[in-house]
Structure 1
């Protein structure tokens, strides 16, 4: 690893810490609303944003740490392990679609960047709508049996089609995409996007 790569890695670790803090703030300032066993909050938006900016592993770890800490400090320590897993998965899926499939850090028109940012956010948060209550059901059925909480998880899974779940995903997706499009040029100037040169950045924002 050369000095440039080391500097970029250090910069991404630093930004990961910032994204973890934003995930925590997104949960703490706007407390979660419990709807049919599903937590509705804007913390997930920062998990997706972190994945769009930094890649799946960095964004996922940042979200996992920030929101697990929010659970612990908020008196929901028993939920922290599941939160860690779910947020890591959100980041990995968003990063996979954005960077491995669409390569959004490379030279593309702005319309392409917006389209794939939306697809990445929807893919990650849509999967989480199913994965989170499913994990909760397995958790309370096999790992720490609790019939009442397992039943709550099933209710949450059934409630995926309700407006609260849809609104949650839409709001978080919108926040993540708008923030990414706004921050992308500034973070390029700081050297975060090593794959983009000055010409391609100009073209992608045209």
Structure 2
């Protein structure tokens, strides 16, 4: 495939943009942590399942940090770059190959997404602890758990539908190891 690199960059770019848009579409401010609840994790998880750990990392890190900046939460962007990037990487590392093999919500895929969501909760607790104090950061945990749990539930059918739009052959070629 001569345009493999261009196709890969294009898919990464699409998922980065979708992550930023999904993050910005619905925002519920969390007063205590000066952050917000959103549904951007669904696109991070979809990128991770479809494109693998590096696609999840790119969508999570760049798309989510861009959304922070565009929404006026730039002070969170450096933390988001790391927390959401690793969230995408974890989800893709655990769930990508299994998702492609089964294309349904098998336990390992759900486990991978759940562990990635728990990383996000932990990561933002630590980040919030440094930014606003650990006592205030505790107040963000319920919202982050809600966000992560809802994203896990939404992602499986969403990733399945998106996977049908992008042919399995294209995804396999773009994510194979060299």
Q: Give me the TM-score of the superposition, normalised by structure 1.
A: 0.73
In structure 2, C-alpha distance between the alignment counterparts of 1:91 and 1:48, rounded to whole Å:
6
Structure 2 gaps, min length 5:
none
Shift in Å, 1:125? 0.5
Structure 1 gaps, min length 5:
141-148, 196-206
Distance 1:68 1:106, change over 3 A: closer
The answer to whether the aligner puts 1:116 opposite 2:108 as a matched pair is: yes
Written as runs of structure 1 = structure 2, the 5 A alignment for 1:12-27 is 12-27=8-23
Distance 1:56 1:136, change over 3 A: same
**Do 1:48 and 1:176's aligned partners in 2 also have CA atoms closer than 8 Å?**
yes
Cα distance per residue 1:36-85 (max 9 Å; x no partner): 42531101111111111111112211221112111112222221111111
Q: 1:181 matched to which residue of 2?
A: 160
Q: 1:28 matched to which residue of 2?
A: 24
SS of the residue corresponding to residue 171 of structure 2 reads coil
Shift in Å, 1:166? 3.2
The structure number with the bigger radius of gyration is 1
Cα distance per residue 1:75-120 (max 9 Å; x no partner): 2222111111111110111011113xxx225544x45x54333222
Q: Give me the TM-score of the superposition, normalised by structure 2.
A: 0.83
Query: Which consecutive aligned stretches of 4+ in structure 1 deviate over 4 angstroms post-superposition?
Result: none
